[in-house]
Amino acid sequence: LGTNSSSFKPFRSKEFLLSDDIRVVESVKGPGFNLGIVTNLKIGEYFDFRFLPTLSFAERNINYGKSSRQYPNSQRTVESVFVEMPFQMRYKSAPYRDKRLFVIAGVKYGFDVASDSRSKQAETLVKIAPNDFAVEYGAGIQIFFPFFIFSPEFKISQGIGNTLIFNPNLEESTVLEKVLSRTFTISLHFEG
């Protein structure tokens, strides 16, 4: 189980400098939550290979600040339902008093099953691709109980692929060169 805070990292294009209408392009974080399954393969005493298929609900926003009163400021909200497939390596410390610290690093593929990039009404919206690749890193602690292991962890995901679907007929799209995803996740893992 987990909660996430997702956002975009917009990179402005040369057209942004030439635009008379759009003065500001910024991302606003949105809330979300995760539900997943833990698959763990021990590799020796201190290393694990992990696969955590997850259903992730997220909201991300891009705000456009406009200069004219005729066209008010606008916001593009992207509500997503991701099927995520993260592959991670975990390094654990030696146990101490039924606890051990760990760090994780890996890669993740996500597919947005709720993407509106192919819908007809998306012609007037900034389109975001349904596919996303990211690198992940984080840390946590394992707490050993008699019948299960409780592992709270935090994780940062940084997109490595451009998710913007460029539309030359839409000014909100032309002022952007690329858009990367960012997610901060706090998870509670229960392992047998």
* pLDDT one-digit tens code per residue, 36-52: 999 999 999 999 999 99
Contact 167, 176 (CB under 8 A): no
- In a 10 Å sphere around its CB, with 0-12 CB exposed, 13-18 middle and 19+ buried, how is residue 187 labelled? buried
Contact 52, 12 (CB under 8 A): no
pLDDT band at 170 (very low <50, low <70, confident <90, very high): confident
pLDDT score at 141: 97
- Output phi, psi for 62, to 5 deg: -120, 120
Averaged pLDDT of the chain? 88
Give the Cα separation of 166 and 173 in Å (integer).
6
Question: What percent of the chain shows pLDDT beyond 70?
Answer: 92
Contact 59, 76 (CB under 8 A): no
Give the Cα separation of 144 and 130 in Å (integer).
38
pLDDT score at 71: 59
Give the Cα separation of 163 and 80 in Å (integer).
13
Which of 33-37, 77-81, 180-184 has the lowest average pLDDT? Answer: 77-81
pLDDT score at 123: 59
Higher pLDDT, 189 or 77: 189
Q: What letter does residue 73 receive in the DSSP assignment?
A: -
Give the Cα separation of 8 and 129 in Å (integer).
13
Identify which of 112, 92, 107 has the alpha carbon closest to the alpha carbon of residue 52. 107
What's the mean pLDDT in 85-95?
Answer: 96
Which of 19-28, 128-137, 162-171 has the lowest average pLDDT? Answer: 19-28
Q: Is it the case that residue 119 has pLDDT exceeding 60? A: no
pLDDT band at 72 (very low <50, low <70, confident <90, very high): low
- Locate the DSSP E strands across 18-148: 22-28, 30-36, 39-43, 47-51, 54-66, 74-92, 99-112, 127-128, 131-144
Q: Is it the case that residue 74 has pLDDT exceeding 90? A: no
Residue recorded with tokens 């390596």: 89
Give the Cα separation of 97 and 145 in Å (integer).
11
Identify which of 109, 81, 86 has the alpha carbon closest to the alpha carbon of residue 155. 86
Q: Is it the case that residue 158 has pLDDT exceeding 90? A: yes
Identify which of 109, 148, 151 has the alpha carbon closest to the alpha carbon of residue 132. 109
